[in-house]
Amino acid sequence: MSITHDDIKNWEEIISTHQEDYEKFLKASLQALKAVPNPATEPQTPVQDFLAGYAVFMASEVETIKPKDELYKTQLATVLENIHMTPVGTLLTETAKQASIKINKKDREITKLVSDIEARMDKRHEHLNTLAATHKVKGLADTSYSIRPRRSQTNVELKTDFIRPPGNNIQMARNLPQQLSD
């Protein structure tokens, strides 16, 4: 497959449009979570029901965002893979490089929005438990609202105790010419 300048620009336009739409969606979700939950806004609803309802709202937000995030990450990976297949040492290389930089910059902004939403949900959850303690009702179970799974770092243990064959290899190498002449 031969990559052209139009291909790169088309891929960049496609992912940029998707990034803008996804960013608007995330900002709307962040805005929906902006208000601090307050049971006084619904006096006819018991506090326990209010807390449970808000927790369900947050869980549904996570379940709404997750598939869109997966679709976004898949499309991003596909476009970046296509862009990175541009041959090195051609005039298209610079165009592909600039497109990749622009796409990755926008992706960092989106990643920050996703982590902001996760953090806000965790804060709202803590606030709901504080409200539960204040009103002396049962609190919510501990949970973490995770949209993107965290990568766990695996520590690699370097082993420096290499197995050496018995005997002194250096002396054996020095004696080899003498052994051959005998």
Residue ranges covered by each domain of the chain: 5-152
Residue 135 has pLDDT above 80, yes or no: no
* Tens-place pLDDT, residues 13-70: 999 999 999 999 999 998 888 777 777 777 777 888 888 888 888 889 999 999 999 9
Average pLDDT of the residues in 107-116: 94
For all residues of the chain together, what is the average pLDDT?
82
Residue 79 pLDDT more than 90? yes
Q: How far apart are CA 38 and CA 104, in angstroms?
A: 38
> What percentage of the chain exceeds 90 in pLDDT?
34
pTM, two decimals, is 0.73
| pLDDT above 80 for 106 | yes
**Higher local confidence (pLDDT), 70 or 90:** 70
In this prediction, residue 179 has a pLDDT band, given cuts at 50, 70 and 90, of: low
Residue 58 neighbours by CB distance under 10 Å: 22
The rounded distance, in Å, linking the Cα atoms of 165 and 173 is 13
The residue among 57, 30, 20, 19 whose CA lies nearest residue 113 is 30
**pLDDT score for 57:** 87
End-to-end CA distance of the chain: 66
* Cβ atoms within 10 Å, residue 177: 8
* Distance of alpha carbon 92 from the chain centroid: 30
Give the distance from CA 101 to its chain's centroid: 18
Q: What is the pLDDT of residue 161?
A: 60
* Cα–Cα distance, 131 to 53 (Å, whole number): 14
Q: Which two tokens stand for residue 2?
A: 């031969």
